[in-house]
């Protein structure tokens, strides 16, 4: 194992991406030979922490190495330290040995980050050939305890998106109210009455209508809106409430 790495402390990153229809998570393919056959499954991007870096820097490094992205939303939300968290399946031990990873107990600090996938540059988000977006609603069983890590991240995101303006990290800079409503429905896992949702929007002055409409759509173009962080910072109260 690389002597620059701490053998018992790691970081795993849950990267959520929204494409205006689906909430996705960024996963990495794990390949190995298992029971005499080629085998592959999916895992979260992660790595052991280096001796010369703090935990937050390790998370930023992992995301940059995976996607080339810097300065994106990143939140430390939980740590996972079950005694046998790396020993759930025989194939997990086989994979650890194949990469010279320590088999003893490893505690991981988990982060989640948010990306919108509708920008023209979205295809540049994934630079590693073995990384791919998978819908959260149809996740397969992941390596180690990574399924639990994703579900805990989704639980945190659902709580935070009602209390912080995180929705706008997942949307393009210009969006329709229908797209905003769709995002909340997909993340929280429910549906909202259109009239009630728009009534809620009318109560917040940081969702600002602009003098533009959609283009190249097969239906009547909808008006576009923007999130004004300046207005939000100047007018916000002690708590953010976007429950509908």
Instruction: Give pTM, 2 decimals.
Output: 0.89
Taking the C-alpha atoms of residue 12 and residue 109, their distance in angstroms, rounded to an integer, is 6
| The predicted structure's pLDDT at residue 234 | 85
5-160 carries CATH number 3.90.79.10: yes
The torsion of the CA quartet 60, 162, 21, 145, rounded to 10 degrees, works out to 50
Q: In the structure encoding, which two tokens stand for residue 191, read together?
A: 């549906």
Taking the C-alpha atoms of residue 144 and residue 138, their distance in angstroms, rounded to an integer, is 18
* Average pLDDT of the residues in 80-90: 78
**Phi and psi, residue 121, nearest 5°:** -95, 5
Taking the C-alpha atoms of residue 110 and residue 139, their distance in angstroms, rounded to an integer, is 18
Nearest to 166 by CA among 76, 231, 75: 75
Sequence ranges of the domains in the chain: 5-160, 166-235
> Has residue 8 got a pLDDT over 50?
yes
What does the pLDDT look like over 98-142, one tens digit per residue? 667 766 778 999 999 999 988 644 445 555 778 889 999 999 999
Percent of the chain with pLDDT over 70: 86
For tokens 């329709």, name the residue: 176
Taking the C-alpha atoms of residue 67 and residue 131, their distance in angstroms, rounded to an integer, is 9
In contact, 8 and 38? CB cutoff 8 Å: no
> Has residue 60 got a pLDDT over 70?
yes
Sign of CA dihedral 49, 112, 79, 100: negative
Taking the C-alpha atoms of residue 227 and residue 27, their distance in angstroms, rounded to an integer, is 29
List the beta bridge partners of residue 37: 34
What number does CATH give the domain 166-235? 1.10.10.10
| The predicted structure's pLDDT at residue 244 | 61
Number of Cβ atoms within 10 Å of the Cβ of 34: 16
| Contacts of range 56-64, beta carbons closer than 8 Å, 24 or more positions apart | 58/11, 59/11, 59/13, 59/109, 59/111, 62/11, 62/13, 63/13, 63/15, 63/113
Taking the C-alpha atoms of residue 47 and residue 59, their distance in angstroms, rounded to an integer, is 9
CB-facing half-sphere around the CA of 153: CA atoms within 13 A: 28
> Has residue 243 got a pLDDT over 70?
no
What does the pLDDT look like over 132-175, one tens digit per residue? 899 999 999 998 899 999 999 999 999 999 888 999 999 999 99
Shared fold status for 5-160 and 166-235? no
For tokens 């009547």, name the residue: 220
Taking the C-alpha atoms of residue 57 and residue 115, their distance in angstroms, rounded to an integer, is 19
């Amino acid at each position: 194992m690389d002597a620059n790495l701490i053998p018992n402390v790691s970081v795993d990153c849950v990267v959520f991406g929204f494409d205006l229809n689906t909430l996705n998570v960024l996963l990495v393919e794990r390949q190995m030979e298992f029971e005499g056959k080629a085998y592959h499954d999916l895992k979260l991007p992660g790595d052991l922490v280096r001796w010369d870096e703090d935990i937050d820097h390790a998370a930023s490094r992992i995301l940059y190495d995976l996607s080339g992205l810097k300065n994106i939303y990143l939140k430390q939300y939980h740590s996972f330290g079950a005694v046998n968290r790396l020993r759930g399946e025989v194939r997990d031990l086989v994979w650890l040995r194949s990469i010279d990873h320590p088999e003893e107990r490893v505690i991981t600090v988990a982060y989640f980050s948010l990306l919108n996938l509708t920008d023209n540059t979205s295809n540049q988000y994934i630079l590693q050939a073995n990384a791919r977006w998978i819908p959260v609603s149809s996740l397969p069983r992941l390596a180690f305890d990574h399924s639990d890590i994703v579900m805990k991240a989704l639980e945190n995101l659902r709580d935070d998106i009602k209390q912080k303006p995180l929705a706008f990290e997942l949307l393009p800079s210009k969006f329709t109210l229908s797209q905003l409503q769709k995002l909340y429905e997909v993340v929280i896992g429910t549906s909202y009455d259109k009239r009630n949702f728009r009534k809620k929007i009318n109560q917040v002055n940081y969702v600002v209508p602009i003098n533009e409409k959609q283009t190249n759509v097969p239906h009547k173009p909808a008006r576009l809106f923007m999130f004004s962080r300046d207005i939000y910072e100047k007018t916000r109260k002690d708590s953010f409430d976007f429950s509908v």
